[in-house]
Amino acid sequence: MQILRSAQNDIKEKIFVMMRIYLSAAVRFVSLCSLMLFSWMLCGAEVFAQQKIGYVDSQAIIDQLPDAQDAKRKLETLSREWQEEVRKRREKIGQLFKDYQAKEILYTDELKQQKRKEIVDAEQDVSTYQNTKFGASGDYFKQQTDLMRPIQDRIFRAMSDVAKANGYDFVFDKSGEILLLYAKEDFDLTALVLEKVSGRLRTATGAEAQSGTTSPGTTQPNPSQPNPVQSPSPVPQTPPTGGGDGK
């Protein structure tokens, strides 16, 4: 029963998270429509038609940035480690339950209660661990934010620079929550933004190589030690479920 309740709670949490995502997307879409309508009313149809509008695909940019892929691998490694820990704990719970069923007839009432409590406590522990790692405010999301925020900030600055340099009034993100039903490729700024971001990355890397320093948070490799295993994200953009069991 405890495992069933845990699974039900996990499903409820997933539904709640999805509802939040859809609600957020709806709010942003309505806000965008309101902004465009307000601009139309304020400036007039003729003036609004003269506004220069472009779009980018930030996900396509992220997919081509080496440091973004490094961050993704780090997140994937962390996720696998945590999911494996969840699997081991649930395997142990399953063994405890089998042992209890096999020996229940031999237990006194007091020992039965003790064994049941042991199983329930183990279930609660694994649910707590899973929520700590994969919950809405868990370690996975914190790591994802820490790793991806600098990259996203750099992309945003590049978007702003490209928009200003080319005289765009509005730039939308094709891969964001705003629904973009159709757009001519003539207004796609993705390649320009990627070139801008990659240029900054090469400049920063070259400056570090000339100065013999590394960026904050990185360490120089030690030739006397073997290379560590590459760490894992994100996406994901969508968080893993921690093995699909529990909360």
What is the per-residue pLDDT for 79? 96
Per residue of the chain (247 residues), what is the pLDDT tens digit?
454 455 455 555 555 455 555 455 554 554 555 555 555 554 554 554 577 888 888 888 899 999 999 999 999 999 999 999 999 999 999 999 999 999 999 999 999 999 999 999 999 999 999 999 999 899 999 999 999 999 989 988 888 888 888 888 888 888 766 655 455 677 778 888 888 888 765 555 555 455 544 433 333 434 333 333 333 333 344 455 555 444 4
Tokens for 86, please give them. Answer: 């969840």
Residues 38 and 57 in one domain: no
d(Cα 177, Cα 62) in Å, to the nearest integer?
A: 16
Kindly state whether residue 223 falls inside one of the protein's structural domains: no
Kindly state whether residue 122 falls inside one of the protein's structural domains: yes
Kindly state whether residue 227 falls inside one of the protein's structural domains: no
- Residue 238 has φ and ψ, to the nearest 5°, of -115, 130
Residues 25 and 92 in one domain: no
Kindly state whether residue 234 falls inside one of the protein's structural domains: no
Kindly state whether residue 35 falls inside one of the protein's structural domains: yes
Residues 27 and 123 in one domain: no
Measured CA to CA in angstroms, residue 223 lies from 132, 211, 217, 227, 228 at distances of 36, 19, 19, 8, 12
Residues 38 and 69 in one domain: no
Helix (H) or strand (E) holding 86: helix 66-103
Residues 26 and 119 in one domain: no
What is the per-residue pLDDT for 202? 56
d(Cα 234, Cα 83) in Å, to the nearest integer?
A: 15
Structural domain containing residue 21: 1-45
Residues 80 and 164 in one domain: yes
Tokens for 76, please give them. Answer: 């994937």
Kindly state whether residue 66 falls inside one of the protein's structural domains: yes
Residues 17 and 97 in one domain: no
Kindly state whether residue 134 falls inside one of the protein's structural domains: yes
What is the per-residue pLDDT for 14? 53
Residues 41 and 146 in one domain: no
Kindly state whether residue 67 falls inside one of the protein's structural domains: yes
- Residue 92 corresponds to which amino acid? K
What is the per-residue pLDDT for 35? 53
Residues 90 and 32 in one domain: no
Residues 77 and 179 in one domain: yes
Counting the structural domains of the chain, the total is: 2
Q: Please, what is the Cα angle at 180 between 178 and 185, to 5 degrees? A: 135
Residues 13 and 59 in one domain: no
Answer with the one of 10, 28, 45 that is the final residue of a domain.
Answer: 45
Residues 35 and 66 in one domain: no
